[in-house]
Structure 1
Amino acid sequence: MLSRLYNRISTGLWIGMLAILWLAIISGLHFWLNFDHDTRKLVRMGYMPVVTNLAAPLLDRACEANRPVRYEALKFSSFAEMGEALRNGQIQAAFIIAPLSIVLHQQGAGVKIVYIGNRHESTLVCRKDLQAKTFRDLARKSIAVPMRYSGHNIATRLLAEQFGLQGPDLNVVEMNPPDMPSALATGALDAYFVGEPFAAKTVRANESNVLCYVEQVWPGFICNLMIVRDELIQNDRETVRDLVHTAARSGIWAKRNTKSASEIASKYWNQPIELVEYAMDTPPGRIVFDQFIPKKEEIQNLADLMVKFKLLESNDITGLVDDSFARSVNLEGITDLRSIFSEQRK
């Protein structure tokens, strides 16, 4: 009898021990699969999936485990959402549409412009059946831009001035870039002005025609730029320096390795590689990768235009531009993707 009781206790003990072990294994797997175990310094970068922000996925992809800082690219569907994330400290850097940086600065968000994204990558397209030849043909047609505070909105108004469209003849609407191609394809939209590859998507589908490239309207056009929080600069200038230098060097690598850069971007953006590669090189040599230094006079001109078109009341940009990091970039020794990181932080 005692033997049977002992065996029952032993069996129960074993079952209990196995249950505890099983729970420990399940808990361990849950922790491992659902929590980030990377102990490196983390800088979160917000971005929209357009060519001007190509540096974001390239930095994320190139961050190997032996580097002291991890740059994590977080994709957003709207610039307004990204701006709020930066303001609230959820991200420390943002590849954001240029005029919005001025708005955030004037609202006291505490940010600095430290880098200019790849230039000349925005396109105005219109429905193919419109057979539009000039901007004048878009009178009273719906034209989408990414947001009120966008260079595309300003460029559209510059075109309207040039072609004499005003009042009800100019119909500009705001729409998030990922929604523009489908809106045009279904007939809900007549035209849109946006960063690539969203314009190329309907062009390649034979649903739209290119009416103009942004550089034809505004040479040196800045679509997106990088802003960082003041506190990151104050507390960790070395990391900001590394971030800006690597972003700038990534553009040079992408220019020399368009196909490889397109492959990486297509995975982060969930877009076909053929579309990204087409947007990167149509027309050939269109994208400008080496004009990344922020210049106060360019940002001032942008602010002046925002006041002119009644997007802002003030053109004050005092303290917004910090070119010190971009001016010290060394563009030598760029070979493979890993080489985009500066020597001091490899």
Structure 2
Amino acid sequence: MSEFETSHFLRRRQILGSALALPLAGLSTASAASKTLVVGGLPVTCNLTLPIACSAKGPQFEYSKYSGWPEIKESLMTGRIQAAYMLAPLVMDLADKRIPMKIVSLGHRSGAVIMVRTDSPYKRFADLKGKRIAIPSRFAVDFLFLRKMLAREKMTPKDIEIMEMAPPDMPAALYAKAVDAYCTGEPFGAAAQKAGYARPLAMTRDEWRNYICCVLTVREELIKEDRPIVQELVNYVQAAGNWLDANPVNRDKAARIASGRKFFNQDPNIIKFVMENPSDRVTYGDLRMIRAEFDELMKLSLEAGTLKRPVAYEQYVDESFVKAIKPATIAL
């Protein structure tokens, strides 16, 4: 077992211990439709449908910002929150370990980039051999994207040095030359690009058009205790996706909303940069749950070693809410 696998296994055992000790923690605060449902997310544009859904619906949904996937995972596992945007392969892994949660909707498509310094000589992935590259998590689909790009050059992750890093820290790390490249969701590629010291080496919009990463995930206790609030959340997330892709004016509004202190707390011009350069850098209008796409993610995750065995689709996905969608109005 590698050093990463050992430390990851120990952390997971510690978290699982907490989950077993507190299986119902925090459930009473959001189990009824009259209560506010706290939904966790990262300040990334792959999660942009969440601030829009929360703003459109009002006090029933509250956005809770997290800085990294380990923190959001632990909060979901211990029941401190009952819903969050999560990495799809991470949900597969948790479901395999009998952690009671289900994917109920997509959150976006595309939106990942691999960035290098503008002044670097790197033109192809072969040029990154032996270099240090940051990823958000081994469970991130960004990592699978990186593996795809390396494979085209007949390379593997063993040919580079990989380090895990919270996405907000990546642009500064590249600027300081602490890493040679990073792979993450927006706007943390756009932030460095707009500042002038980084350029994309690859983008999912060009290389992996049906890319999905962040998915709306809820604890099964919430589904059992309050299906209507889960349905309403899915209704508004899907409506937010359609609204975002309907016209550029809505994307401008979304940048202003999501940049606020209540949500991402970022420069609105950076989010706007993501929305416009190019306009399909991240897309939200097609949030269908397609089994074949999840099967592809699982296959890639098995090849990467982040999943140890296949997980039944029904074990980690609940399609019933997407199938029962009722149109919601996004009036912002």
State the TM-score, normalizing by the size of structure 1: 0.81
2:316 is the alignment partner of 1:326: no
Q: Which residue of 2 aligns with 1:266?
A: 259
Q: Give how far 1:99 is off.
A: 1.3
- Report % sequence identity: 32
Note the alpha carbon deviations across 1:52-86, whole angstroms, 9 max, x for none.
11122223323335xxxx11110001111101101
Work out which of the residue numbers 130, 135, 146 in structure 1 matches 2:120: 130
Show the counterpart of 1:49.
Answer: 43
**Letter in structure 2 aligned against 1:329:** I
Between the aligned partners of 1:303 and 1:101, the Cα distance in structure 2 is 11
Q: In 1, distance between residues paired with 2:147 and 2:157?
A: 11
Unaligned runs of 5+ in 2: 1-32
Structure 1: how far apart are the matches of 2:157 and 2:225?
49
Q: Is the 8 A contact 2:110 2:205 kept in 1?
A: yes
2:212 is aligned with 1:212: no
Cα distance in structure 1, aligned partners of 2:277 and 2:86: 23
Cα displacement (A) at 1:192: 0.7
2:244 to 227, 233, 254: 254
Residue 184 of structure 1 contacts residue 191 of structure 1 at CA under 8 Å; is this kept in 2?
yes
Residue aligned with 1:292, SS: coil
Work out whether residues 142 and 191 of structure 1, in 8 Å CA contact, stay in contact via their aligned partners in 2: yes
Partner in structure 2 of residue 12 of structure 1: none
Q: Is the 1:125–1:193 contact (alpha carbons within 8 Å) kept by the matching residues of 2?
A: yes
Aligned residue identity for 2:275: M
Q: CA deviation at 1:297?
A: 2.3
Deviation at 1:150, TM superposition (A): 0.8
Residue number in structure 2 paired with 1:180 = 170
1:284 to 279, 282, 298: 279
The question of whether the paired residues in 1 share the 8 Å contact of 2:240 and 2:330 is answered with no
Find the aligned partners of 2:290 and 2:279 in 1 and give their Cα distance. Answer: 26
**Which residue, out of 275, 278, 295, partners 1:300?**
295
Partner Cα separation in structure 1 for residue 157 and residue 271 of structure 2: 37
In structure 1, the partner of 2:13 is none
In the TM superposition, 1:32-111 aligns within 5 A as 40-64=34-58, 70-111=60-101
CA distance in 2, matches of 1:285, 1:166: 29
> How big is the alpha-carbon RMSD for the aligned residues of Structure 1 and Structure 2?
1.7
Partner of residue 25, structure 2: none
Q: Distance in 2 between matches of 1:48 and 1:229?
A: 18
SS at match of 1:137: helix
5+ residue gaps, structure 1, are 1-38, 338-346
Residue-pair matches, total: 294
CA distance in 2 between partners of 1:213 and 1:45 (Å): 28
Q: Displacement of 1:285 after TM fit?
A: 3.1
Please give the alpha-carbon distance, in whole angstroms, between the structure 2 residues aligned to 1:222 and 1:295: 10
Q: What is the letter of the counterpart of residue 104 of structure 1?
A: L
Q: In structure 2, give the amino acid aligned to 1:197.
A: P
Matched AA of 1:312: L
Q: 1:185 is aligned with what amino acid?
A: Y
List per-residue Cα deviations over 1:259-308 (Å, max 9, x = no partner): 11100011121111110111122112332212212222222221121111
**For residue 319 of structure 1, what is the amino acid of its counterpart?**
Q
- Mapping of 1:332-343 within 5 angstroms? 334=329, 336-337=331-332
CA–CA distance in structure 2, aligned partners of residues 241 and 64 of structure 1: 16
The structure 2 residue matched to 1:233, chosen from 218, 223, 230, is 223
CA distance in structure 1 between the aligned counterparts of 2:47 and 2:158, rounded to whole angstroms: 34
Residue 166 of structure 1 and its aligned partner are, at CA, apart by 3.2
Greater CA deviation, 222-231 or 157-166?
157-166
SS at match of 1:130: coil
Question: Do the aligned partners of 1:55 and 1:247 also contact (CA within 8 Å) in 2?
Answer: yes
Alignment of 1:138-153 (within 5 A): 138-153=128-143
Q: Which runs of 4+ in 1 moved over 4 A?
A: none
Name which one, 1 or 2, has greater alpha-carbon Rg. Answer: 1
CA deviation after TM superposition for structure 1 residue 100, in Å: 1.0
Instruction: State the 1:322 CA deviation.
Output: 1.2
Contact kept, 8 Å, 1:83 with 1:104, in 2: the verdict is no
Supply the AA of the counterpart residue of 1:305. L
Could you tell me whether the CA contact under 8 Å between 1:124 and 1:211 is conserved in 2? yes
1:195 corresponds to which of 182, 185, 200: 185
Give the distance between the partners of 1:320 and 1:311, measured in 2 at CA.
16
Distance in 2 (CA, whole Å) between partners of 1:43 and 1:258 is 25
Partner-residue secondary structure (3-state), 2:62: strand
Q: Which amino acid aligns with 2:254?
A: A
